Amino acid sequence: MTPPRNLLIRGGRVIDPHNRRDEIADIAIKTGCIVDQPAPGAAIIDATGCIVCPGLMDIHVHLRDPGQTYKESIASGTAAATAGGFTFVACMPNTNPPLDDPELIKRVREAADRAGHCAVGPIATITKGRRGEEVTDFARLIDAGAVAFSDDGSGVENDDVMRSAFEKAAAHNTILIQHCEYRSISDGGVMHRGEVSERLGLPGLDPRSEEAMIERDIDQSRETGGRYHVAHISTARAVELVRAAKAQGLPVTTEVCPHHLLLTDEACSDAHPNTKMHPPLRTEADVTACRQGLLDGTIDCIATDHAPHTAEEKSVGFLKAPPGIVGLETAVALAAKAMITTGLADWPQLVAWFTSAPAKVLALPRTGLGVGENADITLIDPNAEWTVDPAAFASQCSNTPFSGWKLVGRPMGTLHKGRLQPADWSLDQRYGMTDN
């Protein structure tokens, strides 16, 4: 791999939540680190009009590798992450085989290093084989590089198994990320149970399946001291449960996806499989509660739940199609549409939801843009107008309900370990980059 170039990012709006900066400034980079003065001959990136911020983080993606590389691979998924402005992603373990073995964790990390697009933190399974019966060996998985534990795609329903997991999480100072769903309550539902599902004649998924598991898990977190994170929160009641837990000082966090900030179950009215996701799109009241939860700190961060499925898999109709959508390449602009265009938030808040906040959830080093820090950086044009074109995605899949949407705000590129991404940037592309 070629060494990183010496660079000067000139004249951008530096938004760095970790170091509490929001100012027009230059960022000098030498041999992959931020320095106080540009190196002689450094290439210049004209960032006028752009936001320069720490590399974005997504703590909930599906890279489908191993076992489902016809949908996505670590190479293609991290390329999609780079296209979306991310320099770190945490990948879920519902692969084939599941990430329940230290050797598999190591392989994911090694494949990400070979691809070189962005950093990848593998999330290991809570239970062996994701069967919900026996807790995995947390110590060995952490030693191999696991950053968290989840059976995502399935909730751990057995109370005793989940309690054992919480006790291990507390002992090893790690975090459990729960897909909150009791299948006995969700009962085969394919969309939110409500007026729209009744009108369409589709099986409804009861929101209590999410909320009841959150209630049980918060109780167990209280009793064990184990850290707990609610994946892809989607209901107003769920938000209130997390808010109450935080008010009690419990180690409880949560995330929300851009689609749950923008779409309601009305988007399923034409029963297009690209509007089928899990948890499902909810009501306007739920969307409002998720937005408010972000604003008041109940919801810690934004994550995509990037879930690639092939066109063939999504072509079998709403009932049978797998749930999930791709999200890495649209996340920033959709979050901006939900929170900034509406006047609810500003760019510093949005940057924090994608940087310092997810790092805090996983207890990862919260790097910023200070001198001596690694040059993991994202550049965003907040005024870029663009139209979502799934055919142009770097992801291998294009399952999105946002095709054709006109959006404002777009990541223009990243630096990972001081190296420009995408790697084929030429000096006259993107920012008018020139040799000094």
Answer for the pair 83, 53: CB distance below 8 angstroms, yes or no.
Answer: no
Task: State CA 279 to chain mean position distance.
Answer: 15
Interacting residues of 286 by C-beta distance below 8 A, sequence separation 6+: 207, 234, 235, 236, 260, 264
pLDDT at 425: 45
Angle between helices 208-224 and 159-172 (to 10 degrees): 50
Query: Catalytic residue at 424?
Result: no
The token pair at 6 is 């010496």
- What DSSP letter does each residue of 372-406 carry, written as one string? TSB--EEEEEEEEEEE--GGG-SSS----TTTT-E
CATH of 55-361, one of 3.60.20.10, 3.20.20.140, 4.10.95.10, 3.30.470.20: 3.20.20.140
- What DSSP letter does each residue of 102-152 carry, written as one string? HHHHHHHHHHHHHH-SSEEEEEEPSBGGG-SSSB--HHHHHHHT--EEE-T
Annotated catalytic residue within 305, 381, 428, 435: 305
The token pair at 219 is 């109780």
Distances (CA, A) of 23 to 12, 53, 366, 371: 8, 11, 19, 16
Distances (CA, A) of 158 to 61, 82, 100, 151, 230: 25, 38, 18, 13, 17
- Mean of the per-residue pLDDT values of the chain: 95
In CATH, 7-51+373-386+405-435 is 2.30.40.10: yes
pLDDT tens per residue, range 1-48? 667 889 999 999 999 999 999 999 999 999 999 999 999 999 999 999
pLDDT at 431: 43
Each domain of the chain, given as residue ranges in start order, spans 7-51+373-386+405-435, 55-361
- Whether 55-361 and 7-51+373-386+405-435 are alike in CATH topology: the answer is no
Answer for the pair 58, 331: CB distance below 8 angstroms, yes or no.
Answer: yes
Answer for the pair 198, 170: CB distance below 8 angstroms, yes or no.
Answer: no
pLDDT tens per residue, range 140-174? 999 999 999 999 999 999 999 999 999 999 999 99
